[in-house]
Amino acid sequence: MGDTDRFVGHDVSFDPDAVEIDDGEVLDLLEPVVQEWWIEEFGEFVPQNGGFFTPPQKEAIPLIHEGTNALVCSPTGSGKTLSAFTGIINELFRRDRTEEGLENSVYCLYVSPLKSLANDIHRNLEVPLDGITEKLDERGEDVEIRHAIRHGDTDDSERQAMLSETPHILNTTPETLAILLNSPKFREKLRTVEYVIVDEIHSLAENKRGTHLAVSLERLEALANGSPTRIGCSATVEPLDAMAEFLVGREESGGPPREYELVDTRFVREFDIELSCPTDDLVHTGADTVNERFYRELHDLVGDHTNTLVFTNTRSGAERVLHNLRERFDAYDEDNSGCHHGSLSKDRRQEIEGALKAGDLDVVTTSTSLELGIDMPSLDLVVQVGSPKSVAALLQRVGRAGHQLGETVAGRVIALDRDELVECAVMLRKAQQGFVDRVFVPENAQDVATQHVYGMAITGPRPEAEIRGILTRAYPYRNYGDEEWEQLLRYLTADYEGLEEKNVYAKVWRDTNDPPDGEYHYEE
């Protein structure tokens, strides 16, 4: 084997004294039945905290109770997503028991970047909701908080059912949320939304999926009966203020960001990460030898651990690694190994996710579909094949191992060529120094703006100032000027010579008799 570069991070555990909020104060905010369930579920589960709540939970639950926008930045496995749901679940149970009850509409939107993460959170929601409902049933109280998933895997019958029996908590993705806002029937179900949770916000903000989401949140703001409380969750993100402003947007175009609070409970977990390569001489060693030694090393690592997750940078790479393991070694078959990526069927992905969570699979290969947030309590090793391309991605992927509080994060990075070796060595050194990649938000993306302006136009005539105001209250369009706006409208109205000859026709009609307060209409 080649030389190994290894670092062990310092163990800086949760410090209860760093959060000046007492457990009792947080418990007092919860309904008695929610308190009872929480104590039974977590009273002995998190002794590292010195109490019933982790630091992000101690800070976030009171903020959500007050209806304050918040960005919760905390490591994987610290309970930050549960902190967001707890305050909301508590409020919904209180209302359904003590007031007129909940309407047949959505009160909380949970937006995640991946379908698998939405599925995982959906399962995690069932535990508190079922547990609390069971306690109320024992007392003769009939309370029901419904929750459901709506994304690309949801079939037509399930979508139709949501209109007649609407979930109070809806798990979805950025793309599906944009579709729902354009749906004449379902968009009415969104007027009651009071809470929006955006999970793994750093992975959205850095690309146009996040730009889509930011505009969708402003469209939701304009649609809803009140201003929904926005809660963002992230494990690795810099700069915090910019991410919080991305989350909350602006009250008015050109104005300051909406008010928010930062829950910054980041700390350094104990890392055990090694970088290795299959040979001392990657330049002159043949590819067959490199591959043979690589798969032998990978096989040995899997054999030394309970559950191993192997990340590659492509879906084909994930398939290839699993195929070669099964071909080279008798230890792997359909029962104890698998592959997970976005091109697989819904049923197959969920089967792999369930088996991995249960600890039934010795090894799973993946590209990026298991990178974020999914709870895998039995996973004790992550192997990264090649460069993950950023320090944040490295820590995010390796952080899948040791997902519980107090556990060591174990990761092995294997470089298969000289360039990867240099790149990975730099990343490990930066990770050791506590470096986190800065997130740069795309700005003024005209393709995204086009889709949303068109989406708003098809719902009916809208004043120009209203549509532009919604767009520019979103953080990525805070500096969107007159020139960009006119360029966008010229395209949407086909006001460029020769467009129709290229089969590009007007998509909206602009009433220019009284600009800028004219209206836009969908062009039939």
The tens digit of pLDDT for each residue in 36-82 reads 888 888 765 444 444 578 888 889 999 999 999 999 988 766 778 88
pLDDT in tens, 275-292: 999 998 888 899 999 999
Of residues 49 and 343, more confidently modeled? 343
Contact yes or no for 409/272 (Cβ under 8 A): yes
Q: What's the pLDDT score for residue 123?
A: 63
Distance CA 106, CA 186 (A): 10
The domain defined by 20-264 carries CATH number 1.10.10.10: no
Query: Per mean pLDDT, which of 210-214, 235-239, 435-439 is the most reliable?
Result: 210-214
CATH fold of 446-522 reads Arc Repressor Mutant, subunit A (1.10.10)
Q: What is the mean pLDDT of residues 487-506?
A: 86
pLDDT in tens, 347-359: 888 899 889 888 8
Does the global pTM surpass 0.85?
A: no
Q: What percent of the chain has pLDDT over 90?
A: 48
Q: What's the pLDDT score for residue 77?
A: 66
- Taking the domains of the chain in order of start, what are their residue ranges? 20-264, 271-432, 446-522
Instruction: Give the bridge partners for 109, in sequence order.
Output: 170, 196
- 339: confidence class by pLDDT, cuts 50, 70, 90: very high
Which range (133-142, 161-170, 430-439) has the least confidence?
430-439
The domain defined by 271-432 carries CATH number 1.25.40.10: no
- Residue 480 has which token pair? 């969107």
Specify the pairing of strand 229-234 against strand 261-264.
Answer: unpaired
Q: Is the pLDDT of residue 1 over 50?
A: no
Q: What percent of the chain has pLDDT over 70?
A: 87
Q: Is the pLDDT of residue 242 over 50?
A: yes
Q: What is the mean pLDDT of residues 186-201?
A: 94
- Residues 203-206: contacts with CB under 8 Å, at least 24 apart: 203/113, 203/371, 203/372, 204/113, 204/174, 205/237, 205/243, 205/246, 205/439, 205/441, 206/439, 206/440, 206/441, 206/442
- Angle CA 484–209–55, to nearest 5: 120
Same fold, 271-432 and 446-522: no
pLDDT in tens, 3-48: 444 444 333 334 444 446 778 888 899 988 888 888 888 765 444 4
Q: What is the mean pLDDT of residues 197-225?
A: 94
Distance CA 317, CA 260 (A): 42
Q: What's the pLDDT score for residue 6?
A: 45
